[in-house]
A and B are shown apart, each in its own frame.
Chain A
Amino acid sequence: MKRNFVLVLCFAVIILFSLVNAAEIQIDVKEHTLANGLKILMIQKAEVPRVVCHIYYKVGSINERSGITGIAHLHEHMMFKGTQVMGVTDFEKHAAVNDRIDELMANIYREKFWKAGGGDKEKIAQWQKEYDELVQSEKQYIIKDDLWTLYMKNGGTGLNASTSNEVTGYYVTLPSNKVELQMWLESDRMANAYFREFYSEKDVVMEERRLSENRPGFFFDEQVSAAFYAASPYHWGVIGWMDDLRKINKADLIAFNKNYYVPNNAVAIYVGDLDPQNIIQMAETYFGRIPKGPDIEPIRTYEPPQYSEKRMYGEGPSQTSLQMMFHAPYDGQPDAAPLSVLASVLGSGGGGGFGGRRGGGGGGTGRLYKLLVEEKQLAVSVSASSRAQWYVGAFQFRATPRFDKNVQPEDLEKEIWAEIEKIKMEGVTPEEIQKAKNKFEARFIRSLSSTAGLARTLGRAELHRGWRTVITELDDLKKVTNDDIKRVASTYFVKDNSLTAIYKRQGGGRRGGRR
């Protein structure tokens, strides 16, 4: 059994102590970068003797291409399927079986997916039979969910992983005396991932996709998103297309792992009852032994200008609704802040709660709610949101018409456009702007109270433009003026930059219609 570690003897220890002020609030983040490029962030917070341990990789569905959509998420699943050390009783013996399994499945995929008409059924059945037998015989070597069980046995909570367009994260919260376990396991799977039970896990992921498909309106939303993002890799969802999930093979997975699961493409963040020196020493010991990988090129294809209006109509087993989407600045562009403030003004308050970093919501004191739900009574709900992702941005309106008053989505569309035109001319009131700013600030301070939330926000931000952007973003929001609002409304709320999607409940758009 050969381990892939190269012991790195020389490394730099650079400890940065950073205090950043926002609204007289200090976030005391300690930073450390290993020689192999892995960034360590630490925040001390000692309500209970536990430490939130998250590791984020700068990889997500935008790093996929046609043919392997969904692989970032599938790979996240596979990271729980063992390493050269974990999840196996006898690595060499299992590897022999595993190699033959891969060989058989490669044959089957070639026959089934490359040949017209699905290939030679008899050959496939023969390979499948041998595969089924080998899957039974490999069981004797496999220790099921070894890493997960070990975390659970040691009091791991918040145990999970997630994949988004841009980032993949692996989470556990442990008693403060057991952080070393996370260092051991995460450094092991960063360096030594070994993918067992790949083909049954693909089935699991396809079931996960089916769960989404059975959510009313899913297919329409998926198509809306694909139409809105025409060229950039935001075109497909994180779950991927079903065809790709079927056809992704082991070689794809290994190549993906090799490219992106390297220390210089990750950040490890620890929040809780911790001693930074202690964390740094452990990180040097465990993560420090992993060699640096090659630099990674960011995505190439941004969203091109749209040039013409897009409209979509759909009908199905879900409630009638209107969506209006506009291409907007991406994260870090100056116009992102005024659009966030505007989303908050239009859609803020009430039941919307404190959802993430995006502005907006659908609550009781937003302009659109007051106008369309309360005054005119045309809508059951209406929301506005502005979302700046790493390489694309979207400003979105959503509304549900009053069925009992026979209001159609098109009626709401007209109302929203009228309000938009008004804002282009007059902007919004100083009170509305101040309210939005107060909300952003309060929400920011509140976000600091959750250890896991802090880890999530700072970890993700660190991978893009640095964790300090969490603070500078708030400063940018505070500087927004009414002129900015008028300018961004005129710039982005134009038909040629929009997609309008109208969905109607099957056979039920009109009053009295049957469900």
Chain B
Amino acid sequence: MKKTLVILLALGAIFVSIGYTQAQKPSDLKYPNLKYDPPDPKDFRTEFANGLRGYIKEDHSLPLFDISAQINFGGLYVPTDKTGLAEVMSGTMIKGGTKTREGSEIEERIDFIGGSLSFRTSERTATLSLFVLSKDMDEGLELFFDVLMNPEFREASLNLEKARLISQLRQANDQPNSILSREYERLIYGDHALTQQPTQKTYESISSADLKAAHVQYFFPENIILVASGDFDKSELKGKIDKLVSGWKNKTLDVPSFSKQFPSPEPGVYFIQKQINQGYISLGHLGIEENNPDYFAVQVMNFILGGGSFTSRITMKVRSDEGLSYNQGSRFRYRWGFPGTFSGYVQTKSSTVGYAISLILDEFNRIRKEPVSDDEMDTAINYYLESFSNSFESPQRTMSAFADLEMTGKPMDYYKTYRDKIKTVTKATVQEVANKYIHPDKAVIMIVGDFDPCNEGGDKWEGPLGKLGKMHTINLKNPLTGEELK
């Protein structure tokens, strides 16, 4: 035993002598070259029967099978008096059964084989996702396409789901962050389909017939893109899917049109009273669309301003220097087909609400007035270049990203050209887009918090909050009725 150990010790010494020498500081480290080319969507695009499209990747590393269908349908497409239909559909698409199967039968089978089948809807996309072990692929596919093509939205599950959603409505004003994000959007987009909220009445009005009508209108092959990865043979999988969808008819896509005119809310402070010990804050205005040619410069600019976590200015100032908050920064939110929002955000104890806001406004102004530093540019650009391959870590997520490009009409060479576009961003363009897209003078400052202590301020910034702009009060609505609460 002892002898063996000695030999091992000697071996160890040899290992190290031919290995690494310790760098004195991290800047001394030299890295070998690494070239990475992203996967090309063309290599995975597959056309199925009846114009159904897909992005499919074989991955034999584990005996798994993943498939999902992305449908061009979401809450936005629902008429105002049926607001909430997409949420109801989320909860009844599977549980409500199909023409030939009860929902419980489908769930029981999927559960028994250790799989999962789920359906969710968002603003403009709905997604049905299946995961099973690859040995169960055939059974999984049959259930998946049955749910996708033939949902029945049976009454019993519909009623249960409506009761659940109405019960959930009662909690709509419990969480300060959900109040803030909902009311911030409502202020920026005004009374628009993007900001419609369901009520007890709209939920109750939704019938099985409404759900079926929405299904008929949007769930057809040409309006869906499949995404699959796992342990299968691609051509075999294509054969199976073609057979399952062979009788599925197409329709003409009829998506309602929406105004892209939004009100310009009066700049100033918008206060929402809630008895908590911090202020939850968003400040900003309308942002940009994702297909804006300035998108890449805006990404880099916002990384420096408040998007790059600890390396960003807002975090360094508000959190690290001043210890005012745990969570803070700035973001551009994007939504398909509409300009998104721009906001600075922070949550801080009531007495430092005004101070934290003033620091964020200072940073909005600074990035407009002064060029960013070489170091900041270097970090931001290198982050985007060097982290790029991370987007392709999961085959299923990669396929899904490709489907998303096609669905939302982005260029299919988006990923191929991504790094080149990031490289073209300069200090000058960063300052240019900061001036073009950040407007502190037009910003609304929304605060959810306890008014008196917030208004009073503290040592470093004394109130009143009115110093930041004209004061407005927003009364919350009763989420069940949509009527204003006193």
List A residues at the B interface (Cβ < 8 Å). 9-14, 25, 45, 47-50, 80, 85-86, 139, 144-145, 148-150, 152-159, 173, 175-178, 180-181, 184-185, 197, 199-208, 210-211, 213-216, 277, 280-282, 284-286, 288-289, 317-319, 348-351, 353-354, 363-365, 370, 373-374, 377, 380-381, 400, 402-404, 431, 434-435, 438-443, 445-446, 448-451, 505, 515
Residue B311 is within 8 A (CB to CB) of chain A in the complex: yes
What is the number of contacts between chain A and chain B, taking CB atoms within 8 Å? Answer: 254
B390 near A173 (CB under 8 angstroms)? yes
Residue B252 is within 8 A (CB to CB) of chain A in the complex: no
In the complex, chain A residues whose CB is within 8 Å of the CB of B18: 281
B19 near A214 (CB under 8 angstroms)? no
Name the one of B171, B320, B388, B394 contacting A47, with C-beta atoms under 8 angstroms: B394
B9 near A49 (CB under 8 angstroms)? no
| Contacts A155-B386, A443-B114 given; does A448 touch B379 at CB 8 Å | no
Name the one of B12, B62, B309, B395 contacting A284, with C-beta atoms under 8 angstroms: B12
Q: In whole angstroms, what is the CA distance A201 to B13 when docked?
A: 42
Q: Is the interface of B mostly helix, strand, loop or mixed?
A: mixed
A76 to chain B, nearest CB (A): 13
Q: In whole angstroms, what is the CA distance A159 to B321 when docked?
A: 21
B23 near A184 (CB under 8 angstroms)? yes
B389 near A50 (CB under 8 angstroms)? yes
B389 near A181 (CB under 8 angstroms)? no
Q: In whole angstroms, what is the CA distance A48 to B108 when docked?
A: 36
Q: In whole angstroms, what is the CA distance A318 to B175 when docked?
A: 9
In the complex, chain B residues whose CB is within 8 Å of the CB of A370: 104
Name the one of B113, B276, B311, B392 contacting A214, with C-beta atoms under 8 angstroms: B276
B386 near A154 (CB under 8 angstroms)? yes
List B residues at the A interface (Cβ < 8 Å). 5, 8-9, 11-13, 15-16, 18-23, 25-26, 29, 31-34, 36, 59, 61-64, 95, 103-104, 107-108, 111-116, 118, 131-133, 156, 160, 163-164, 166-167, 170-171, 173-176, 276-278, 280, 308-311, 315-316, 319-327, 347-349, 378-379, 382-383, 385-390, 392-395, 478
In the complex, chain B residues whose CB is within 8 Å of the CB of A450: 394
B19 near A281 (CB under 8 angstroms)? yes
B108 near A285 (CB under 8 angstroms)? no
Query: Max chain A CB contacts within 10 Å: which of B34, B116, B276, B385?
Result: B116
In the complex, chain B residues whose CB is within 8 Å of the CB of A280: 15
| Contacts A149-B311, A152-B311, A318-B174 given; does A13 touch B12 at CB 8 Å | yes
In the complex, chain A residues whose CB is within 8 Å of the CB of B173: 515
Q: In whole angstroms, what is the CA distance A351 to B116 when docked?
A: 8
Query: Max chain B CB contacts within 10 Å: which of A281, A431, A443?
Result: A281
In the complex, chain A residues whose CB is within 8 Å of the CB of B348: 207
Query: Max chain A CB contacts within 10 Å: which of B22, B316, B392?
Result: B22
Q: In whole angstroms, what is the CA distance A157 to B315 when docked?
A: 18
Q: In whole angstroms, what is the CA distance A25 to B15 when docked?
A: 32
Name the one of A139, A203, A317, A318 contacting B323, with C-beta atoms under 8 angstroms: A203
In the complex, chain B residues whose CB is within 8 Å of the CB of A49: 34, 36, 389
CB nearest to A10 among chain B residues: B9
CB nearest to B136 among chain A residues: A442
B421 to chain A, nearest CB (A): 17
In the complex, chain A residues whose CB is within 8 Å of the CB of B104: 364-365, 370
Q: In whole angstroms, what is the CA distance A170 to B16 when docked?
A: 26
Q: In whole angstroms, what is the CA distance A450 to B172 when docked?
A: 34
In the complex, chain B residues whose CB is within 8 Å of the CB of A284: 12, 15-16, 19-20
In the complex, chain B residues whose CB is within 8 Å of the CB of A204: 319, 323, 325-326
| Contacts A13-B8, A200-B321 given; does A404 touch B166 at CB 8 Å | yes
B148 to chain A, nearest CB (A): 18
Q: In whole angstroms, what is the CA distance A46 to B320 when docked?
A: 37
Extra inter-chain contacts (11) besides given A145-B316, A159-B309, CB under 8 Å: A48-B393, A152-B309, A181-B29, A184-B29, A207-B349, A216-B175, A288-B16, A319-B167, A365-B108, A400-B167, A445-B133
